[in-house]
Amino acid sequence: MIPFLHELEELQGKITEKVGLRFEQWPLFILGLVLLVMTYLFMPSVVSFALSLALFLAPVWLPLLLISGAWKIWIILKRSEFIASKKYILLEIKPPRNLVKTPLAMETFLSSIHFTGGEATWYARFMGGTRPFYSLEIASFEGQVHFFIWSRADFRRTIESQMYAQYPGVQIVEALDYTRVISAKTGEWSVWGCDFIHTAKDPLPIKTYIEFGLDKVQKEPEQIDPLANLIEFMASVGKGEYLWLQFVIRVHKGEKYGTTPAGNASSKLNSKNKPYTWRDEAEEMVQEIRKKTRDSYIDVFTGEERPGFPNPTKGQMEMMAAMERNVSKLAFDVGARGIYIAKPEHFHPPTIGHLIALFKPFNTEGWNGINSTAWMKTFDDYPWEIGAERRKEHFRKELVEAYRRRQFFYDPFFEGGKKMKDVMVMSTEELATIYHIPSLAVETPSLQRIQSATGEAPPNLPT
């Protein structure tokens, strides 16, 4: 029995890697085969006729299928070439010890890199062009916490100038790619990771820095920072442990809702025949709330039932106002991912639970929050999950490779398994809440800060 199970595990592992069938898809796959065989046994003439008809109509559907497949492969090829042709850079941001800036500074910085160019025309998309995407990262190396921004090298000047404008005194240096320092190979390292998604629809905001009272500078005894819990947790990992967190971002154009980058005829459109985005979803949600607040009444003259005047509760009014404020700001598609890597002898399982609940301080009951999903969370570790270990090893390799490439929206880590449902649409306010340069309120000793602010030499200094 054991050799049979081993052979079955090997077979499933090969099919999973080649075809991409996940464990939860196997019942449907097997059911389809059973139905096909049963239909052929009891109605062979029907199956034969269906196959003959499909063969007869092949000159019609086969060219369309081949052209459609060839077009998708071409786009994947050209886009991969375009992404690979660009030079990328990883910049480390070192804050000074006396930083008193609020997350509003990071929101302003994010607004300054909200670039939409690169895929506005059919020719640009035909040649594989993509709009710029960045990766905002927080990494802990055996408890030492660092902040990074990864982007195309062409945008270095913009990133540095806008960062210095909002955070005078910070130090920005080009860094080696820390993800390549360790091998992360199975056996040498234990790897666990997941993605993060919204718990509700995107227009509903999470608990932002404004709810934390950080829309203005606080007095020193009252200073708080919503990132303090996250940074303290990342600083708590010990020797032989690494914790990486990244937010891959690009300008939101509505792909999550079926809109194409240029908003052409194949796009999903709103009531005004314009590309559908999260603002349209917010409008629909607000209208739905307003409908629920109307108590119908009977017209005494006509006897007809009519909707009453909207009478929302305080909570409903606050929710509608929060959504309208949220979607009034610039928006990014956000792919969030976290990885815990450790030497097998130093691997600390409770860290996984803390990573899963990493963003709970930003959750608001009844509104929105951030929860973990995908990658290693897809495994329930039931004893009957045949081939689970092989699939886990495959997932770990893909997870680390996706992180290293900073890929979330494009092949092979989107079409190869990722779906747009795993992408969050976030305003600059929300994004600045979960990623900003921490103020002096965060006193974590292992957070890398420079001893004093740096500045340029006076222009009239003699040479």
Q: Vertex 117, ends 114 and 118: CA angle to 5°? A: 130
Q: For residue 14, what pLDDT is reported? A: 45
Q: For residue 7, what pLDDT is reported? A: 45
- Mean pLDDT calculated for residue range 274-281: 92
Distance CA 196, CA 198 (A): 7
Domain map (residue ranges) of the chain = 88-262+323-434
Neighbours of 319 (CB within 10 A): 20
Distance CA 247, CA 408 (A): 9
Q: Kindly report, residue by residue over 178-219, the tens digit of the pLDDT.
A: 999 999 998 899 999 999 999 999 999 999 999 888 877 766
Please state whether 254 falls in left (phi above 0), alpha (psi between -120 and 50) or beta: left
Distance CA 205, CA 451 (A): 36
Query: Is pLDDT larger for residue 417 or for residue 164?
Result: 164
**Of the given ranges (20-24, 43-47, 132-136, 139-143), which has the lowest mean pLDDT?**
20-24
| Amino acid in position 236 | S
Q: For residue 260, what pLDDT is reported? A: 78
Distance CA 303, CA 254 (A): 44
Q: Is 195 exposed, middle or buried (0-12, 13-18, 19+ CB in 10 A)?
A: buried
Helix (H) or strand (E) holding 137, with range, is: strand 133-141
- Confidence band of 2 (pLDDT split at 50, 70, 90): very low
Q: Kindly report, residue by residue over 391-411, the tens digit of the pLDDT.
A: 889 889 999 999 999 999 888
The answer to whether the CB of 411 falls within 8 A of the CB of 72 is: no
Long-range contacts of 221-226 (CB under 8 A, 24+ apart): 223/439, 223/440, 223/441, 224/441, 225/438, 225/439, 225/441, 225/442, 226/103, 226/361, 226/362, 226/433, 226/434
Q: Kindly report, residue by residue over 3-30, the tens digit of the pLDDT.
A: 444 444 444 444 444 444 454 556 777 8
Q: For residue 219, what pLDDT is reported? A: 67
Q: For residue 1, what pLDDT is reported? A: 38
Q: For residue 60, what pLDDT is reported? A: 87
The b/e string for 383-409 (b: 16+ C-beta within 10 A; e otherwise) is eeebbbebbbeebbebbbebbebbbbb
Distance CA 137, CA 4 (A): 45
- The values of phi and psi at residue 148, to 5°, are -135, 155
pTM of the predicted structure, to 2 decimals: 0.84
